[in-house]
Structure 1
Amino acid sequence: MSTLLQPTLAGLPSPSTEAFLRFENVSKVYPTPTGPYTVLDGIDMAVNQGEFMCVIGHSGCGKSTLLNMVSGFSTPSSGQVVLHGNAITKPGPDRMVVFQGYALLPWFSAYDNVYLAIDSVKPDLPAVEKKEITREHLAMVGLTEAADKKINQLSGGMKQRVAIARALAIRPEVLILDEPFGALDAITKEELQEELLTIWNTQKCTVLMITHDIDEALFLADRLVMMTNGPAAKIGEIMEINFPRPRNREEIMEDPIYYDMRNQALDFLYSRFAHDDTE
């Protein structure tokens, strides 16, 4: 088997290495009428600065809960999530989220949605600079001509472009993507994947992305985190994806290693950790 395919068990770096982002023995337990329900149990993982990491697993494995603890929307029941050596306890502009459902203000234009985000986080920035940053990021996602259109006048792909532009305009250190392309058609999805990689190669923020699409993960990510089933989900394996960057989709898909890696991920999800729909 190629060295590219050797699964790496999740773990923290050595004490001499300070990771950019760390999950330190993180668990999440919710109270229920029938007793405590453990969603995540004992998550240990380090994320490097500038890394593009995808998380995959069946529904109910705690993917969104895991990333909500990075955004600060949720806090661990035990353990901690640490960024730059400081425990994350609340949301902040250094961590921006793009949702599958866009979460845009429909009565505003594309331009106004991006400008409002910049104005909220950096109110003291001169208006001319806010306008410049807004235009720059709309151009980055190909929406210069649609800047003045209201959100309800835009297609699903265009709405997601606005959401990505809004998140990146804040210049976050961590970009969190919760299945951002899951509701889009195949052609639009591939276009946005390409645009996302182009932007990431330029800005080099750290990206954590939830996906159900193995091919998407293999094209985008440096590493693929594969979760075991819930309850009490853990990190099962972390796959290193060492295709050189910038990536070309056609070249990658012609590489036999691509299909070896794809089969390994499929085996993890549908053989070793097949989802039991009767549960």
Structure 2
Amino acid sequence: MKTLSAPESMVSTSKNPRSIGSTATADEFLVLKDVKKSFPTPNGEYVVLDGVNLTIKQGEFICLIGHSGCGKSTLLNMVSGFSQPTAGTVKLKGQSITRPGPDRMVVFQGYALLPWLTVYENVYLAVNAVYPDKSKGEKDDIVKEHLKMVGLLEAMEKTPPQISGGMRQRVAIARALSIRPEVLVLDEPFGALDAITKEELQEELLKIWNNSRNTVLMITHDIDEALFLADKLVMMTNGPAAQIGEVLEIPFKRPRDRSRIMEMPEYYKIRNYALDFLYNRFAHDDTAE
């Protein structure tokens, strides 16, 4: 099948960033440069990522998409500080990321909540760990502020087994945001939810982001989700030795209305281009696994 050509306005190009300091710029907030990640195996080195270059501006919402096994989660683990690159650098505000920290918070698909604690206590635990010197009243205010943000104040005395999957993910998001991270890392946070709950949480996340403007790096397998949420769609080639194939600019103005953008011809132009990238140009080879 013929490969589609992306309009020039869709594909990101490098520009000279505006300097805001001696070690970083607003346009070079989070930078992956020549990143390689490999693991030893009995048959030799297995290269997951090789030559990954990505520059993210402060406050951008980035969605990362690609087939299973292309190293998306590996990339997020390096940004989160859970692992380090074999070669190359991952820097936040000009400083190399070498370990996890409260400036980067992760929300996983699996919630990662403590089931014996209440909703309130799950969030309080994070706030208390990051802000030990704040008074109990200040911590209480922070917890309740963020539970209110995700609509869970009335459920704060319930435990995770007593609430729905969508509500658990709201708790995970509230917990991550409560420590006020500079980068929010989302690893398919809505992947296990039903379609209606998924769309509701997408709307809530976008509303929160519109107010906070955290830098967001999110893995998704859903192109429509990416087109609704993101400023840019980062498309990865297949592994092993995966790279970033293309970065597409999402041109829709904010705030976004889902039904309105889905009526735009440009929406389907970008959607079809991304589908062509994934299923024609870089179709997943199941025989290679």
TM-score band w.r.t. shorter chain: over 0.9
Q: Which residue of the other structure, out of 157, 172, 176, is the alignment partner of 2:166?
A: 157
TM-fit CA distance, 1:242: 1.3
1:7 aligns with 2:11: yes
Partner of 2:184: 175
Q: Which residue of 2 aligns with 1:138?
A: 147
Which amino acid in structure 1 is aligned with residue 232 of structure 2? R
- Quote the offset at 1:6 in angstroms: 3.2
State the AA in 2 paired with 1:99: F
Letter in 1 for 2:156: A
Distance 1:36 1:201, change over 3 A: same
Residues 15 and 188 (structure 1), Cα distance of their counterparts in 2 relative to 1, 3 Å cut: closer
| Conservation of the 8 A alpha-carbon contact between 1:4 and 1:240 | no
Supply the distance in 2 between the matched residues of 1:135 and 1:252 (Cα, whole angstroms).
Answer: 34
Aligned ranges 1:173-252 → 2 under 5 Å: 173-252=182-261
In the alignment, structure 1 residue 148 sits paired with structure 2 residue 182? no
Paired residue for 1:84? Answer: 93
Q: Which residue does the alignment assign to 2:43?
A: 34
Q: How does 1:47-86 map to 2 (within 5 A)?
A: 47-86=56-95
Give the Cα–Cα distance (whole angstroms) in 1 for the partners of residues 105 and 50 of structure 2: 25
Give the fraction of aligned pairs with identical amino acids, expressed as a percent.
67
Deviation at 1:228, TM superposition (A): 0.1
Alpha-carbon spacing, 1:121–1:276, altered in 2? closer, same or farther (3 Å)? same
1:20 equivalent in structure 2:
29
Counterpart of 2:31, as a letter, is R
> What count of residue pairs does the alignment treat as equivalent?
277
Structure 2 counterpart SS, 1:111: helix
Q: What residue ranges of structure 2 are gaps of 5+ in the alignment? A: 20-24
RMSD: 1.4
Contact 1:4 1:241 in 2 (8 A): no
1:269 Cα deviation (Å)?
A: 0.3
> Which residue is 2:132 aligned to?
123
Aligned partner of residue 146 in structure 2, secondary structure: helix
Shift of 1:259: 0.5
Residue 144 of structure 1, CA deviation: 1.1
User: TM-score, normalised to structure 2's length?
Assistant: 0.93
Q: Secondary structure at 2:76's aligned position in 1?
A: helix
Separation in 1, partners of 2:129, 2:38: 33
Query: 2:6 touches 2:273 (CA, 8 Å); kept in 1?
Result: no
Matched, 1:258 2:262: no
